[in-house]
Chains A and B, each alone.
Chain A
Amino acid sequence: MPSIPGSEAYSSDKEKSMAELLKVENLKTQFHTEGGVVKAVDGISYHIDEREIIGLVGESGCGKSVSQLSVMQLISTPGEIVGGEVIFEGQDLLKYKTHGPEMRSVRGAKIAMIFQEPMTSLNPVLTINQQLTEMLELHLGMSKKVARERAIELLGMVGIPSAHNRIDDYPHQFSGGMRQRVMIAMALSCSPKILIADEPTTALDVTTQAQLLELMKDMVERFKASLVIVTHNLGVVARYAQRIYIMYAGRIVEEGTIKDIFGKPRHPYTIGLLKCIPRLDEEEGRKLVPIEGLPPNLINMPPTCAFLPRCSYKVERCFQEPWPPLKRLHDRHYISCYANTEEKTGEPTER
């Protein structure tokens, strides 16, 4: 049995007892540009259970961020959510008005989001106190004084030293890592059910990345929240996520537990991704294999599989039939592929 980092902490009996918290069905988001319609998210379905950590992995422009913004209904023109359902606590969030009070009471209070760029995610002209207490006053109706106490407490929790002194500082007095900590505190301030972290560590240096991911994991456990990690970095999710969704060109191409994805990847794209990650535990001299070609232009996509031009497993059927829906391999492992990728994988991708 190959050992996957972080997977020991995750026992399979725990997984089955959890209730489904958010279910996204066939979500479609398009951007109407002058060059044509960009199908940024083209019918993705996924779900997240209570207190679960999932990873959403894909390269730039594959629609992973857009899918998360769609869940929050934060898509603005020329973008448009054209179909699908986002079921959260029995309600379809997409039925709410974008700027309506129902949707606003979900954002921040029930589902919170952390963005990629900590340097610009805080308003430069307001103090940390003003920004942190705003949410507490807005969603939880706290008084200014109580909110301030809570804000100081939250800053302490995310590891800001002498929080009561720093709370009246402005964002520019914090480093990038510190600001991301503030963002985490802010996002979790109203005890949301789900925290969406959109490339939370991409803009930070490697040592800070590890600390922040660890912090985020601890915090969601403490707040009993679920976490969606959106990233292009498989290494980031490998350690923390329990299940992973691999996205390509606006669709989910493979879904599985961390063991499935790292141990027995089945979609050609996932296999390719894993082949181009260097590892410390491999024998010297193995060459990294890049995925040939470029990601497709999302305007005027052919009905066939978008990965086809770059695929090394392609079979006759791929050219004739449209992109296949996700099919179940076993238990929680799904792929969207016609080819039989099993025999070719085996050795190089196993850990």
Chain B
Amino acid sequence: MVEKHTSDIGFSEAPVRASEWRRFRRVFFERKLVTFGLVVLVLMVIAAAFAPLLTPYDPYELGDAGESLLQPGGEHLLGTDLLGRDTLSRLIYGARTALMVGFISVFISGFIGVPLGIIAGYFGGVINMVIMRAMDAIMCFPMLLLALLLAAVLREYDVISGIWVVIIALSIAIIPGYARVTHGVTLSIKENEYIMAQRAMGSSNMRVMFRHILPNAFPPLIVLVTMQLGALILAEAGLSFLGIGIDPPGAAWGAMVWDGYRYLANNTALWLSPGIAIALVVFAFNMVGDGLRDALDPRLRGLL
């Protein structure tokens, strides 16, 4: 009864902009898992940003003779690896790698994929055909396989090194995702009368595409970015597990799992802690992506 009353008031009197934001917050924070995901991500970003202050030990410093493969507890909270390096410190530095790969790849691929999608959708015809078929061709390969191949090639020819190999390889592998989503939304946005009105006002195609269509395509893209961040971190872990990730002294979760996997039974913390970190972060990104989709998707308006 009380609830009905308040919602009536909110409906009739709240200004439109405020209620829009309010709806976003309500839907987004309604699910506990989404809130949980957000907290995990915030903590992870803080950990990555302030890694040198938070880590108890230097993640690259080799331990003394007796410090190899220590069990959790004691001075080293999560134990040490074969070379006596502190697992917790490496875990925190691993967050840096993961986030860096994730965010930079998303940015690079978005920077290429989004314009491609808009151009294909806006002009249609032959341009659309060429761009979208090229994207389909890239999509034929499983993302990880393609990234593996690209990373191997980039490394072989010494074009770039270290973490950038992973970043570039993953960026190229996920371009089609952006192009496809942007293409789809562009097709629907360009039918709106304001696009015709803009053209009737003398706007150039570039202006129409990037000033008028692009901002309207943002909601689905934000969701895509969040979802892909999770996938990218997982892929990066996969690549470094396979040994294609970052160069040896650097800390990456996938490589840590690989290091620990040789001691499955006797040193659980060594492989389990980076494993949990990967699972947690991927899960967190997916939850936040889900929450954003629910909150931003106009089709769910009224249902949620």
A, B in one complex: yes
Interface residues of A (CB under 8 A from B): 72, 74, 77, 99, 104-109, 112-113, 115-117, 120-126, 134-135, 138-139, 170, 172-173, 183, 186-187
- Do A135 and B201 touch (CB < 8 A)? yes
- Do A72 and B200 touch (CB < 8 A)? yes
CB distance from A269 to the nearest CB of B (A): 29
A residues in contact with B205, CB < 8 Å:
99
- Do A113 and B212 touch (CB < 8 A)? no
Interface hits, B15-66 → A, CB 8 Å: 15-17
Most buried by A among B193, B197, B199: B197
- Do B216 and A124 touch (CB < 8 A)? yes
A residues in contact with B16, CB < 8 Å:
172-173
- Do B215 and A74 touch (CB < 8 A)? no
- Do A74 and B196 touch (CB < 8 A)? yes
- Do A74 and B193 touch (CB < 8 A)? no
- Do A115 and B202 touch (CB < 8 A)? no
A residues in contact with B125, CB < 8 Å:
77
- Do B17 and A108 touch (CB < 8 A)? no
Pick from A121, A126, A170: contact of B197, CB under 8 Å: A121
**Known interface pairs A172-B16, A173-B17; A123-B200 also in contact (CB < 8 Å):** no
Closest A residue to B199 by beta carbon equals: A74
B residues in contact with A108, CB < 8 Å:
200-203
**Known interface pairs A113-B197, A125-B216; A120-B192 also in contact (CB < 8 Å):** yes
Give B190-219 as 1s and 0s: 1 = Cβ < 8 Å from A's Cβ atoms: 001110111111111101000110011010
User: With the chains together, A92 CA to B124 CA distance in Å?
Assistant: 28
User: With the chains together, A247 CA to B192 CA distance in Å?
Assistant: 26
**Known interface pairs A77-B125, A125-B216, A173-B17; A117-B200 also in contact (CB < 8 Å):** no
Closest A residue to B206 by beta carbon equals: A99
CB distance from B108 to the nearest CB of A (A): 25
Pick from B199, B211, B212: contact of A107, CB under 8 Å: B199
A residues in contact with B194, CB < 8 Å:
120-124
Closest A residue to B125 by beta carbon equals: A77
- Do B192 and A106 touch (CB < 8 A)? no
Instruction: Classify chain B: how many residues form its interface, as a range.
Output: 20 to 34
B residues in contact with A107, CB < 8 Å:
199-202
**Known interface pairs A77-B124, A77-B125, A121-B193; A112-B215 also in contact (CB < 8 Å):** no
Closest A residue to B195 by beta carbon equals: A123
User: With the chains together, A107 CA to B192 CA distance in Å?
Assistant: 18
User: With the chains together, A243 CA to B200 CA distance in Å?
Assistant: 24
CB distance from B207 to the nearest CB of A (A): 8
User: With the chains together, A112 CA to B207 CA distance in Å?
Assistant: 18
User: With the chains together, A243 CA to B207 CA distance in Å?
Assistant: 37
Pick from B196, B204, B211, B215: contact of A115, CB under 8 Å: B196
Most buried by A among B124, B193, B218: B193
Can you name 11 A-B pairs with beta carbons within 8 Å?
Answer: A77-B124, A107-B200, A115-B197, A122-B197, A123-B198, A125-B216, A135-B202, A138-B203, A138-B207, A173-B17, A183-B197
Most buried by B among A77, A107, A183, A187: A107
Pick from A99, A120, A126, A173: contact of B212, CB under 8 Å: A126
B residues in contact with A123, CB < 8 Å:
194, 198, 212, 215-216
B residues in contact with A138, CB < 8 Å:
202-203, 207
Pick from A139, A170, A173, A183: contact of B202, CB under 8 Å: A139
A residues in contact with B202, CB < 8 Å:
104-109, 135, 138-139
Nearest 5 pairs of A and B residues by beta carbon: A108-B202, A108-B201, A107-B202, A113-B200, A120-B193
CB distance from A271 to the nearest CB of B (A): 34
A residues in contact with B196, CB < 8 Å:
74, 115
Most buried by A among B15, B192, B199, B204: B199
